[in-house]
Amino acid sequence: MARIPDQPPKILLVDDEPNMLHLTQRILNRHGFPNEGFTSAVNAYETLRTGDETPDLVLSDVDMPEMNGLEFYRKVRHLKPHLRFLFVTGSPSQLHDSQGSFPREAGLLLKPFTAESLLRAIQVRMNQHTPSPEE
């Protein structure tokens, strides 16, 4: 019997650069990944807090105004502890802030990335277990 393919994961994107957000959405759309994009981590957090649906993966930039990616991650982890994260950054030095360092349970993709490296990073991250804060 043929195996029915799994549904592609729903992805929530956060990048304060509209061009980068649009490019990433185009790649995801072309490969059948449902997604919703935000240029503000504050707005993305509010959607996660008040919305009915939870994405399977959050793909977030690190360096953003208002709330950086690491702050966004910490707030979301309190709200939805098992939600998978994949960070994108052009500056690995930004993976530390006053609250601590890069979370070991999150994935990382460096900018600039190719469509192939983005899709591979998503696949790897979706196959990894995300421990809750208590684990």
Listed by start position, the domains of the chain span: 11-126
Instruction: Specify the pTM.
Output: 0.87
* Each residue's pLDDT tens digit, 40-78: 999 999 999 999 999 999 999 999 999 999 999 999 999
pLDDT tens digits, 97-118 = 555 667 878 899 999 999 999 9
The fold for domain 11-126 equals Rossmann fold (3.40.50)
Distances (CA, A) of 89 to 14, 70, 82, 131: 12, 11, 22, 23
Q: How confident is the model at residue 7, as a pLDDT?
A: 87
If one compares 101 and 88, the residue with the highest pLDDT of the two is 88
Radius of gyration of the chain (CA): 14
- Closest of 41, 40, 112 to residue 70, by C-alpha: 41
**The residue to which tokens 């991250």 are assigned:** 125
Is residue 61 a contact partner of residue 14, using CB atoms and an 8 Å limit? yes
Provide the pairing of β-strand 100-101 with 96-97: antiparallel
